[in-house]
Chain A
Amino acid sequence: MSRRKTERLLSLVVCLLSTRRFLTAEQIRQAVAGYPEQPEAFKRMFERDKEELRELGIPLETGSLSPLDGEDIGYRVQQQAYELPELRLEADEAAVLGIAARVWRHAELAGAAAGALLKLRAAGIDTDYPDAGADVRQGIEPRVHTAEPAFGPLWEAVRDRRPVTFAYRAAGRSEPQTRELEPWGVVNRHGRWYVAGRDRGRDAARVFRLSRIEGDVRFAGPSGSVNVPAGTDVREVVRTWDSVPPRENTAVLRVRPGAGYGLRRYATGPADADASPDLSAPSSSAPSSSAPSSSAPSSSAPSTSAPSTSAGAPSAPSSPAGTGGWDTISVPYSDVGWFADHVASFGADVVVADPPDLRDAVIRKLKGVLA
């Protein structure tokens, strides 16, 4: 860091803000200390300085000094375009702002959030210092992570409306393919980042999971060259793409007492009348609705808990020992392949009675383990 450079940039900002008329480069050189006399050296330095100001978001305007003399270019910054408009927050709003500013901590937009907070504090708004620790609003701590390296460049592309190209390995593919995309937006769903846009190669809307992008995301065109179709709701595009096909099939499963909770949760009912009670746990505290939640066996990956979410614990008490009576339940599903995988994961605790294609798929799966 050079102190002289900081001084020069600061003087330049004040100088450009103080003028109503456009100033020529030469007038600026005379007013701002620190520029070299030599014209070429000055020009180079001035160009770099202008670029730095623009990168900071300072609205540097370029204009013609007089309509008669189009050759002479001048510069200025209009106070109104520079200033953050007047903004007053109530105490409760400022508290929410403090929570929001922490959402991106250590993620891609952390610096941007901190920068925003700094400007708002500069406008006289008092939020808690982010390091204050204990919450203003006790008990809520939201975070978003951006572990995927593609997030940064894709956000820039979305922001600047630039097409991009990247190598993408679709689910189950052994080789990545190059895709060219006009990005419309990035969406985090179930904790994963997606980019939606128009795939140029396929000339259709497509959604890509950021974690499956391999290598660098490169720009494939200038800023402003992407047109997001009017009325596009990127959340909706991703939701539709990720939505579960209707569960039109029904499996009849035999389940060992005290096991198979991950399937019992979605059971539409016992298939036979003399089935023993569904859960050995007190049924009074069971959820009133058995509506499949987002963790229902539906997404492309199973909702298995991450390894250390909870404590090691003895098994839940099972039904009276020695009865040998297994429960029979009906569970709706959409895709045989996916559901077979899910059922197989319960091992000897769950046996498919029907339909035969599901039964065969599970047996094939289990044989695959021994292969």
Chain B
Amino acid sequence: MSRRGKTPGGPGVSERPRGQAATSAERLQRLLALVPYIVSRKAVGLADTAAAFGLSERELVDDLNLLWCVELRNPDPYCPIDLSYEGGEIVVSQAETIGRPLRLAVDEASALLVALRMLADVPGLEDRSALSRLIVKLETAAGEAARPSAQVAVQVDKPAGDQAIARIRDALDRKRRVHLQYYVPGRDEATQRDVDPMRLLVVEGRTYLEGWCRRADGVRLFRLDRVLGIDVLEIPATVPEDAQPVDVDRGLFRPSAEDVHVTIEVSAAGRWVAEYYPCESVEELADGWLRIGLRTPDTRWVRRLALRLGEDGRVIAPDDLRALIRDDATAALSAYASA
């Protein structure tokens, strides 16, 4: 199976733990970028270049030496590449035919273009002109390789009402506190809270406000489609210095050790639960049933989930949660009996 233009692990750009050996192909790819990188900048420092390629200076010097050693023998031996790195400054005086970078591969062009078209959908991004100019330039530069990117799309949900976005942008720009009326479906509550905005996150097609919640005294995420109302307060936002932004690369919802461990079994009709909630474990049972393990700081949403599932789900543990769910169902049924 051919993977045209694959870029395994991302050459040199910090995706690979330092010291791990690259394959010859990966290194070749890096060398073919290194020469034009230097050429296009006339002269560059060793340290800066090493940083840009995610290399140590020693690794970079090794690359430069390799380039310098390349020799072609026909008809007479000659060295196509001439360079020096005296005094910590790299200069390429002869780059022959590899003075320009290689074209973008299909995967590379697609990764950027799909991301850019997704950005065009992101609410609250002000500078759409730069975005559209960049898309056109990349499409032109990539040529044929840009074509398959049209077959991948990431849609960003549009939160109802652009007003909320505009107000959040305003609060972010002016570093102001906001007052939120926020719906929490897991508890069926409309909550009121003051929040010091930190960032707008767009993850998995959904837009979130990340901020320091003054009621919880912690960093919280608020899904914009659940914001019932927002007011920008004329109070400066004061995010504590030690506030830890959510690491979006490690997933938005990470259970903590203090959370309650819940075991729930669902029928084939309830399998969506495993797709929908961050689960710790999913185990296949007979007849399409699943046993799901998850951790949560607040089990109220699990009670609501259990009512929703009816006979298509059963909470196995913990015991007190099972009892609460039976009480919930009994109370709901008696509301019907008396109605």
Contacts and interface: CB of A to CB of B under 8 A. Distances in A.
A243 interface: no
B204 A122 contact: no
B172 A158 contact: no
Interface string B107-129: 11111101110110010110101
A189 B35 CA distance: 41
Given A141-B200, A173-B268, A7 B311 contact: no
A331 interface: no
Contacts of A142: 115, 118-119, 122, 201-203
B150 to A, nearest CB: 8
Contact of B102 (A82, A186, A347): A82
A313 B215 contact: yes
Given A55-B3, A156-B3, A83 B102 contact: yes
B310 A310 contact: no
B307 A113 contact: no
Contact of B141 (A87, A234, A300): A87
A281 B228 contact: yes
- Residue of B222, B231, B336 most packed against chain A (CB within 10 A): B336
Contacts of B2: 51, 54-55, 160, 223
Interface string B140-169: 110101001011111101111101100001
B154 A286 contact: no
Contacts of B218: 311
A365 B133 contact: no
B226 A90 contact: no
A310 B191 contact: yes
A119 B130 contact: no
A7 B69 contact: yes
Interface string A1-13: 1110111011101
Contacts of A323: none
Contact of B119 (A56, A100, A261, A306): A100
A303 B185 CA distance: 8
Contact of A260 (B32, B188, B198, B252): B188
B153 A304 contact: no
A279 B14 CA distance: 51
Contacts of A31: 72-74
B301 to A, nearest CB: 6
Given A260-B188, A344-B332, A369-B306, A14 B125 contact: no
Nearest to A140: B200
Contacts of A95: 130
B316 to A, nearest CB: 14
Contacts of A17: 96-98
A106 interface: yes
Contacts of B331: 347-348
A18 B99 CA distance: 12
A11 B336 contact: no
Contacts of B155: 187-190, 235, 239
A130 interface: yes
A281 B192 contact: yes
Interface in A318-369: 341-342, 344-349, 351, 353, 359, 362-369
Contact of A346 (B138, B183, B188, B203): B188
A271 interface: no
A205 interface: no
Interface string B29-41: 1111111110011
Nearest to A103: B115
Contacts of A234: 151, 153
A110 B15 contact: yes
Given A9-B25, A140-B202, A285 B186 contact: no
Given A129-B52, A305-B226, 4 more contacts: A6-B24, A84-B103, A114-B12, A310-B222
A260 B192 CA distance: 16
27 contacts: A11-B72, A17-B98, A52-B24, A55-B25, A57-B106, A81-B103, A84-B100, A96-B119, A112-B6, A114-B13, A115-B107, A137-B125, A141-B199, A142-B115, A144-B205, A158-B152, A159-B148, A186-B151, A259-B188, A261-B183, A291-B160, A295-B223, A302-B276, A308-B253, A348-B332, A367-B333, A371-B311
B151 A184 contact: yes
Interface in A9-29: 9-11, 13-15, 17-18, 27
B189 A315 contact: yes
Contact of A307 (B70, B169, B278): B278
B31 A10 contact: yes
A143 interface: yes
Given A261-B183, A262-B183, A370 B329 contact: yes
A118 B9 CA distance: 13
B102 A58 contact: yes
Contacts of A261: 183, 188-190
Nearest to B23: A1
A140 B199 contact: yes
